[in-house]
């Protein structure tokens, strides 16, 4: 396979993960980056040996085929439309947009132009999440009937250098972290049919405790505690709790209950971890994830915890899919369905009724067994 030339717009906190991930692959090569703040683009360009350009110059570069949009959620749709209008494929960070209508416009524009939209998260490519899906597909817990999701913390003003956007439209635990969980649920169980929710703003203001904005106050404009119900087209129904108002808890990220057993699925914010399975009421047993790619720990978090983090594989999959003329897995259709589900929690709470989900998406193709190199044609070195 050839090398696809990439540009990046948005040179903030998460851009290092993409720039480091891209450097490990022969399948893509980042040529240039851009940011509203030229100094941010120049800093990343120096660090990674690429060119810093204006957004306009990057979009006018004929060599660049895919642009990765790493701007804040409020800018996701407008920047993605700019990229598509320049005739380039776009892969962007989640959520697809802060507004469902804008997200629909992005996918429609790409479809009309014959271009691709890819969207994070790509953590469902991870070994633990693929192994969990494999176990469900293999009937290990029978027909999934119920389950629970818990994504609970006291985020995000204590670590991010500029955390305001987390508490504005497009942020909140449901739009910021929900994509990881709903995407993995769709990967395992298929599309969602309807949603109910209740939402609360736990704290009207947040005081930033991270540098450099320490001491500044953020007005919270989005719900920070959300409890909901998800009914899948398959008939399974799950509860979901997402909150940034919780100091401590003891719930597993995802539990799935089937007619023949139960499964615990690790945090879909990362690629690895060990799913646990119980057939009927037998003791929990670990699922072997070693046959699946992207499960080996390759990063140590600030807390000292080792994690598997291969954020970029969604871009690699899209680049190889374009070359091979096949569908890519972290698709615009999947991200649009996930966003419709996420928005439905607040709508349900505001309107006091279930929300029927209009969009349907196919489950993404399972990631083949093997190593990362095998999956992406010797293109992805496991760091």
The site that binds ligand NAD (CB under 6 A) totals a number of residues, namely 21
3 state SS of 204 = coil
CB of 74 to ligand NAD, least distance (A): 8
- Does the footprint of ligand NAD cover residue 37 (CB under 6 A)? yes
Looking at beta carbons only, is 9 or 226 nearer to ligand NAD?
9
- Answer for which of 1, 40, 105, 333 binds ligand NAD (CB under 6 A) is 40
Residues of 224-237 as b/e, b for ≥16 C-beta within 10 angstroms?
bbbbbbbbbeeebb
- Does the footprint of ligand NAD cover residue 96 (CB under 6 A)? no
CB of 275 to ligand NAD, least distance (A): 22
- Answer for which of 6, 8, 9, 335 binds ligand NAD (CB under 6 A) is 9
Strand partners, 262: 257, 278
Compute φ and ψ for 293, nearest 5 degrees: -75, 165
- Answer for which of 32, 55, 84, 226 binds ligand NAD (CB under 6 A) is 55
CB of 332 to ligand NAD, least distance (A): 15
Q: How far is CA 200 from CA 90, 134, 240, 345, in A?
A: 34, 36, 14, 11
CB of 201 closer than 8 Å to CB of 224: yes
Report the candidate in 86, 135, 141, 133 with the shortest Cα–Cα distance to residue 109: 86
- Answer for which of 13, 207, 216, 300 binds ligand NAD (CB under 6 A) is 13
- Does the footprint of ligand NAD cover residue 102 (CB under 6 A)? no
Name the residue whose CB lies closest to ligand NAD: 12
CB of 14 to ligand NAD, least distance (A): 4
- Does the footprint of ligand NAD cover residue 218 (CB under 6 A)? no
- Does the footprint of ligand NAD cover residue 80 (CB under 6 A)? no
- Does the footprint of ligand NAD cover residue 338 (CB under 6 A)? no
Give the side-chain half-sphere CA count within 13 A for 84. Answer: 24
Report the candidate in 382, 317, 289 with the shortest Cα–Cα distance to residue 120: 317
CB of 42 closer than 8 Å to CB of 75: no
Looking at beta carbons only, is 73 or 253 nearer to ligand NAD?
73
Of residues 144-163, those binding ligand NAD (CB under 6 A): 162
CB of 269 to ligand NAD, least distance (A): 8
254: enclosing H helix or E strand: strand 254-258
d(CA 229, CA 221): 23
CB of 276 closer than 8 Å to CB of 135: no
- Answer for which of 65, 122, 157, 176 binds ligand NAD (CB under 6 A) is 176
Q: In angstroms, how far is the first alpha carbon of the chain from the final one?
A: 21
Looking at beta carbons only, is 37 or 326 nearer to ligand NAD?
37
Residues that bind ligand NAD (CB under 6 A): 9-15, 35-37, 40, 55, 70-73, 75, 79, 93, 162, 176
């Amino acid at each position: 396979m050839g090398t696809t030339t990439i540009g990046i717009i948005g040179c903030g906190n998460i851009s290092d993960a993409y720039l480091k991930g891209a450097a490990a692959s022969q399948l893509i090569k980042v040529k240039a980056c851009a940011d509203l703040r030229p100094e941010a683009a120049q800093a990343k360009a120096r660090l990674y040996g690429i060119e810093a350009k204006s957004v306009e110059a990057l979009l006018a570069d004929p060599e660049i085929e895919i642009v990765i949009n790493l701007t804040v959620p409020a800018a996701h749709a407008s920047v993605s439309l700019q990229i598509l209008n320049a005739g380039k494929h776009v892969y962007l960070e989640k959520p697809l947009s802060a507004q469902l209508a804008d997200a629909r416009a992005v996918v429609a524009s790409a479809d009309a132009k014959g271009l691709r939209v890819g969207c994070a998260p790509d953590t469902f490519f991870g070994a633990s999440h693929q192994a969990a899906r494999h176990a469900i597909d293999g009937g290990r817990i029978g027909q999934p009937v119920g389950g629970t999701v818990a994504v609970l913390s006291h985020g995000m003003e204590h670590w991010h250098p500029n955390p305001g956007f987390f508490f504005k439209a497009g942020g909140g635990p449901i739009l910021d972290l929900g994509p990881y969980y709903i995407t993995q649920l769709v990967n395992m169980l298929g599309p969602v049919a309807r949603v109910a929710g209740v939402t609360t703003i736990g704290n009207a203001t947040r005081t930033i405790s991270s540098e450099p904005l320490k001491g500044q106050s953020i007005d919270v404009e989005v719900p920070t505690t959300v409890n909901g119900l998800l009914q899948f087209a398959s008939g399974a129904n799950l509860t979901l709790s997402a909150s940034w108002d919780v100091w401590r808890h003891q719930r597993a990220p995802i539990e799935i209950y089937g007619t023949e057993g139960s499964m615990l699925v690790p945090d879909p914010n990362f690629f690895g971890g060990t799913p646990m399975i119980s057939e009927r009421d037998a003791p929990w047993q670990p699922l072997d994830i070693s046959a699946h790619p992207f499960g080996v720990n390759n990063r140590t978090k600030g807390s000292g915890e080792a994690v598997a983090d291969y954020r970029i594989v969604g871009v690699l999959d899209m680049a190889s899919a374009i070359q091979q003329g096949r569908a890519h897995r972290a698709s615009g259709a999947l991200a649009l369905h996930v966003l419709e589900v996420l928005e439905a929690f607040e709508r349900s709470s505001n309107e006091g009724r279930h929300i029927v989900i209009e969009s349907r998406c196919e489950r993404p193709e399972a990631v083949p067994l093997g190593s990362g190199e095998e999956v992406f044609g010797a293109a992805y070195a496991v760091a």
